[in-house]
A and B are shown apart, each in its own frame.
Chain A
Amino acid sequence: MSKHIPAASLAAYTAGDPALDDTAVWTIEVHLENCGDCRAQLAEAAPPALTALLDDVQVMIDRGVRTGPEPVRRRAWRHFAHRWAMWDLVPWLVTIGVAVAAAFFLDRTFPQRPSLVLLLAPIAPLAGMAAAWSRRRDPGWEIVAGTARAGLELMLRRTTVILALVLPPLALAGWRLGMSPALWLLPALTFTAATLLLGGRFGVVRAAATLGGAWFLAVVTPAVITADIPALIEPASAPGWAVAAVAGTVLAVWRAGDHRHTNPR
């Protein structure tokens, strides 16, 4: 705006002249909001009583800021944990850790028997996934399930956390036993992807229970009873697991939209 407020109008406005109608006041105020020069003029025109009042207010605000309550301290770590971790993370994590450690020591003691670490690897993430999605275990499921981030996003976050916590103990055990990472990593990823894929249709808990149960009955039990090393955990089956892991992940990502509807059961 090139034109400034005439000095006479500004004086009338400052004095609260009743002759100024609403339209004129509005015009002046719109101009003042946009024009620094006119605001400066207005400030100069202010009577001493008003300036004193404004100073008092400033002092009171400053005092309030100094003596008022402290801003809430942000606890970054807790904040991060709330966004990523799920309810009740610790108990099942301890269970998995203990199971992997036990399997490791049994493997060290009986190297000629089928490796328990390899038999455990595919189903290790499933317990965590089942726990993370359980209606019975998560007290807040009903609130969480109806929110925008429920389903797809929380599923991906929780799966990431579970894999980040389950894979290191397996890696440690596998490294100490001198096993190829493909033999424990690929089955673990395949079963995780399969749980997500089936979980989108039937619920994650049901999918995890079915897959874990099937692996336990079909592979783990015969191997433990007969002491024959199952073909599925032989090094020769690694290419098969690689194909399964890639296919499973692709399918799980392709069907990720199913999780929008699925509610934890």
Chain B
Amino acid sequence: MVRMVSATELRPSTNAWPIEADRLSVKAGKHLAVDGLDLKLGVGVHGLLGPNGAGKTTLMRALSTVERPSGGRLRLLGEDATDGRALRALRARLGYLPQHFGFYPRFTVREYVEYVAWLREMPKADIPEAVQRVIDRVGLADRADSRLRTLSGGMLRRVGVAQAIVNSPDVLLLDEPTVGLDPEQRVEFRTLLRDLGTDSCVLVSTHLVEDVVAACSDVVMVNLGKLVWQGVPAELIALGEQGGVGDSPAERGYSTILASHRSAA
């Protein structure tokens, strides 16, 4: 057979921004953790920075459709994320690693990733191959049939990354993925991130400014539930040249932006 390029492969995407939030508000309990946030993210790796309590995790939950926004508009991959009918098809194209990666201790790595692939409605025939591929990708091939309760913290974090990418998501949300990884694994993880960012929209929430500078094509800073700054890592470093608190130019840039936002507020 001569392989034909199908019409769906050539179809232009109808949405300019995989993630598009307009005056988005999300509550965490009774507290308004995300308060009128405007955000547009395209394809690439985006680093989400912000101090503790800035609303990063709540924003990630809203983007992963786990938490329903209390106000504003949220469009993911061109679909309205608050529309119940569009939600199921949309969720099949999302990948999400929560900050608290809860796992079932009696599942093996393979069973767990398979289970999540099934939950995300991957075609049944593709699941075993995709599962093996992502387990190889995160470097857990030798532990694939170990129970999750026997794994170390860093390995569990990598299982979390594996389940998030198993369905080759178009929008990938990773909440603090580098916690518990050793320096070598962090370097490997950054390579993985750059790979994933070539054709999907990846949002990585983190506290580590150096991770963002090394692996992200774009930086998003939030504070008190609002967007404070958005730009490329080089701009953040350039801001750090002018002063501020921190050990590296990027950290100084981060603290400069935060300080100017706090004094303006």
- Of the residues A78, A142, A149, contact of B119 by C-beta under 8 Å: A149
Complex CA distance for A149 and B88, rounded to whole angstroms: 7
Given contacts A33-B1, A82-B107, A140-B104, contact A260 B145 (CB under 8 A): no
Which residues of B lie under 8 Å from residue A65 when comparing CB positions? none
**Shortest beta-carbon distance from A88 to chain B in Å:** 9
Complex CA distance for A131 and B131, rounded to whole angstroms: 29
The range of chain A's interface size is: 20 to 34
**Interface residue? B96 (CB, 8 A):** yes
**Interface residue? A107 (CB, 8 A):** no
Verify A139–B103 contact, CB threshold 8 A.
yes
Verify A78–B88 contact, CB threshold 8 A.
no
Given contacts A147-B119, A148-B92, A149-B118, contact A138 B65 (CB under 8 A): no
The range of chain B's interface size is: 35 or more
Q: How many A-B residue pairs have CB under 8 A?
A: 80
Complex CA distance for A140 and B101, rounded to whole angstroms: 7
Verify A146–B121 contact, CB threshold 8 A.
no
**Interface residue? B157 (CB, 8 A):** no
Interface string of B54-68 (1 = CB under 8 A from A): 000000010011111
- Of the residues B65, B103, B144, contact of A140 by C-beta under 8 Å: B103
**Interface residue? A213 (CB, 8 A):** no
- Of the residues B2, B64, B145, contact of A146 by C-beta under 8 Å: B64
Verify B66–A263 contact, CB threshold 8 A.
yes
Verify B84–A261 contact, CB threshold 8 A.
yes
Q: 13 A-B Cβ contacts within 8 A?
A: A33-B1, A82-B107, A83-B118, A139-B102, A139-B103, A142-B100, A143-B96, A143-B116, A148-B88, A148-B119, A149-B119, A258-B84, A263-B67
Residue positions of A touching B, CB distance < 8 A: 30, 33-34, 72, 78-79, 82-83, 87, 138-152, 257-258, 260-261, 263
